[in-house]
Amino acid sequence: MFDKFAILDWIIISVYILFMLAVGLWMRKRASRSTEQYFTGGREMPWWLAGVSMVATTFAADTPLAVTGIVASDGIAGNWIWWNFMVSGMFTVFLYAKLWHRAGVITDVEFIELRYGGKPASILRGFRALYLAFPINCIILGWVTLGMSKVLEVMTGASSWKIIIILYGLTAIYIVVSGLWGVVVTDFLQFFIAMAGSIVLMFYAINEVGGMNGLMSGLIEQFGVDHHYLDFSPIGHPKILLSTALVWIGMQWWVSWYPGAEPGGGGYIAQRMFSTRSDKDAVKSTLFFNIAHYALRPWPWIIVALASLIVYPNIADPEKGYAMMMVDLLPAGLFGLLAVAFFSAFMSTVSTHLNWGASYVVNDFYARFIRPKDSFTEDTIAQRHYIMISRLATLLMMVVAIVVSYFFDSVKSGWEMILSLGAGTGLVFMLRWYWWRINAWSEISAMSAAFVGSLSAGYFGFEGFADKMIFTTIFTTIIWMTVTYVTQPENNDLLQNFYNKVKPAGPGWELFSDGKAESILPALVNVQLGVISVLGFLFGVGNLIFGNTAIGCVLFATALISIKYLVGRIGED
């Protein structure tokens, strides 16, 4: 069952597990002080630690496998299914990060009752807390677990579920004990282990196929001289429909809710922003995250994926090709390092989602509707009670997530399910910060319409991913815009208090700003420069890897100049 594992591999794995548990015990006292400490780290986190934690969370065990499946199906250009979210990410950096930090909430769902009022707001907060904590969060953990199960099946040659349960148990132990600080401290180590493992495997994969020249000639030999596996753009790609490419590039980033790339920020990205020390730190952490996530991290996965097409030309499940390269190419010690890298990637994502989901259950449902703080005689008693409920919620989500994972057979299908269910809601999440007229019914109607639209698209003949997205987005937008104008706006006093607290820029709050609102144009310029930076790094590195030195250097230099300017702008603000 574990024939591939040598003694050195077991030593490396054991040291890693002991470290994770030690961190949990080390952070126990700090996490037990209050729910704010448990879920936001007391808002004392340096920007670089919060930024690395964001990157580590989005690097799950499923991610390299999903990228491998995408490359096998559509080549490098297929990655635009998630690369497009770099635009949403830069909007979050320059338009929303400061606002989230100023809001002073513990979760992005708590924001609902800061922005909206009355019974619709309280119903929306309670519903969205449970909706995100269980069905959505557990669907995400389901495909993450599926990815890890595929890795373990290849590594051990046996059923993976016993190991999965053990890993969940270990993760739950240190998260239940240590809260967010345990998550981010372990994330920091997990990120560097996972990246080091990915880079090591990339070099072994390149060597296996005879270097980069061997990789390119091998692709030609297998797929013909006119193959498109190395194309960077999905436009004109013979295996990607034009409608799909246009949806990826022009629509998806602003219409769909997706974890880690929410339009307007949100989820665990917002949680990390809350945890930083200042507005500037919130901006710096999200800028680092977007550059590392979209520009620097993908290439080791992509190169291994391309090599796997040559080494395993007839594999039934291309997603498993990544794990098979680990098993077949790596010697003892390095194999243990890659095993730990996958354990790290898996556990960092699981730990964040369990802590993040528990924050909704406790802060936005239990403490809001079941056992409010004023029902306790002392605040310390309340905090101890809420932390206990947080730990129980964490364990419950762990069990549900393991069960949900049985229903997935493809990581990519999970991605597309979440994108489809949220199509059309993104614009509401973005505009609620910058337009006073958005109300609670706007958000309720958008969520409801997106759900109905995604399920009914097939009935009206919209079958493909792009067609469903376009139909659902148009349907959802018509519904929520109509509802916004036929329902009453929020109370003026509530809107004025919101503006005074958050101070959003632009003309959308001119009724409440006394003409003192900042211009939104500088932030929009920064967004464009941020996208240029990411694209420059991403395709600069890609061109250098494939021998296009001149183009690669120009793109890389453009990215460096853009990022230097942006960092200077952040320092001046």
**pLDDT tens digits along 241-281:** 999 999 999 999 999 887 788 999 999 999 999 999 999 99
Domain of residue 218, CATH code: 1.20.1730.10
CA distances from 420 to 89, 254, 267, 441 (A): 19, 13, 18, 21
In a domain, 482, yes or no: no
In a domain, 1, yes or no: no
Contacts of residues 412-417 at CB distance under 8 Å and 24 or more positions apart, as own/partner, are 412/66, 412/69, 412/70, 412/81, 413/143, 414/139, 414/140, 414/142, 414/143, 414/146, 415/66, 415/81, 415/82, 415/143, 415/258, 416/465, 417/139
Alpha carbon 459 to its chain centroid, in Å, reads 31
In a domain, 399, yes or no: yes
pLDDT at residue 227, as a whole number: 93
Q: Are residues 524 and 402 in the same domain?
A: no
The DSSP bridge partners found for residue 276 are: 45
Task: Using the 3D structure, point to which of 354, 387, 406 is the last residue of a domain.
Answer: 406
Cα–Cα dist 550/339, whole Å = 37
pLDDT at residue 571, as a whole number: 66
pLDDT at residue 49, as a whole number: 94
CA distances from 561 to 4, 62, 374, 543 (A): 47, 34, 53, 18
Task: Using the 3D structure, point to which of 406, 436, 455 is the last residue of a domain.
Answer: 406
pLDDT at residue 408, as a whole number: 66
pLDDT at residue 435, as a whole number: 97
pLDDT at residue 573, as a whole number: 63
266 half-sphere exposure, CB direction, 13 A CA radius: 24
- Contact between 114 and 103 under an 8 Å Cβ cutoff? The reply is yes
Q: Are residues 288 and 154 in the same domain?
A: yes
What's the number of domains the chain is made of?
A: 2
Cα–Cα dist 67/300, whole Å = 10
pLDDT at residue 22, as a whole number: 85
Domain that holds residue 531: 519-573
Cα–Cα dist 264/443, whole Å = 13
Kindly report the backbone phi and psi dihedral angles of residue 377, in degrees, each rounded to the nearest multiple of 5, phi listed first.
-75, -30
In a domain, 215, yes or no: yes
Task: Using the 3D structure, point to which of 406, 424, 450 is the last residue of a domain.
Answer: 406
Angle between helices 137-156 and 411-421 (to 10 degrees): 170
Cα–Cα dist 88/487, whole Å = 29
Cα–Cα dist 441/447, whole Å = 10
pLDDT at residue 55, as a whole number: 93
Nearest to 191 by CA among 347, 65, 27: 347
Angle between helices 334-359 and 7-26 (to 10 degrees): 30
In a domain, 73, yes or no: yes
In a domain, 382, yes or no: yes
Exposure string over 402-441, b if 16+ CB within 10 A, otherwise e: bebbeebebbbebbeebbbbbbbbbbbbbbbbbbbebbbb
Cα–Cα dist 350/414, whole Å = 16
Q: Are residues 534 and 396 in the same domain?
A: no
Q: Are residues 299 and 162 in the same domain?
A: yes
- Residue 224 is classified by DSSP as -
Cα–Cα dist 341/60, whole Å = 10
pLDDT at residue 135, as a whole number: 86
- Residue 146 is classified by DSSP as H
Exposure string over 37-51, b if 16+ CB within 10 A, otherwise e: bbbbbbbebebebbb
In a domain, 507, yes or no: no
Full-model pTM = 0.91
Contacting residues for 399 by C-beta, under 8 A, at least 6 apart: none
In a domain, 323, yes or no: yes
- Contact between 539 and 232 under an 8 Å Cβ cutoff? The reply is yes
- Contact between 143 and 417 under an 8 Å Cβ cutoff? The reply is no
Per-residue pLDDT of the chain (573 residues; tens, 9 = 90+): 567 788 888 898 888 888 888 887 787 777 667 788 888 888 899 999 999 999 988 887 778 988 999 999 999 999 999 999 999 999 999 999 999 999 999 999 999 999 999 999 999 999 999 999 988 888 888 878 877 887 887 887 666 677 778 878 888 887 788 888 888 888 898 888 888 989 999 999 999 999 999 999 999 999 999 999 999 999 999 989 999 999 999 999 999 887 788 999 999 999 999 999 999 999 999 999 999 999 989 999 999 999 999 999 989 889 889 999 998 999 988 888 888 888 888 888 888 888 899 999 999 999 999 999 888 888 888 988 998 999 899 889 988 888 877 776 655 566 667 777 788 899 999 999 999 999 999 999 999 999 999 889 888 888 888 898 999 999 999 999 999 999 999 999 999 999 999 999 999 999 999 878 889 999 999 999 999 999 999 999 999 999 999 999 999 999 999 999 898 878 666
Q: Are residues 351 and 214 in the same domain?
A: yes
- Contact between 40 and 108 under an 8 Å Cβ cutoff? The reply is no
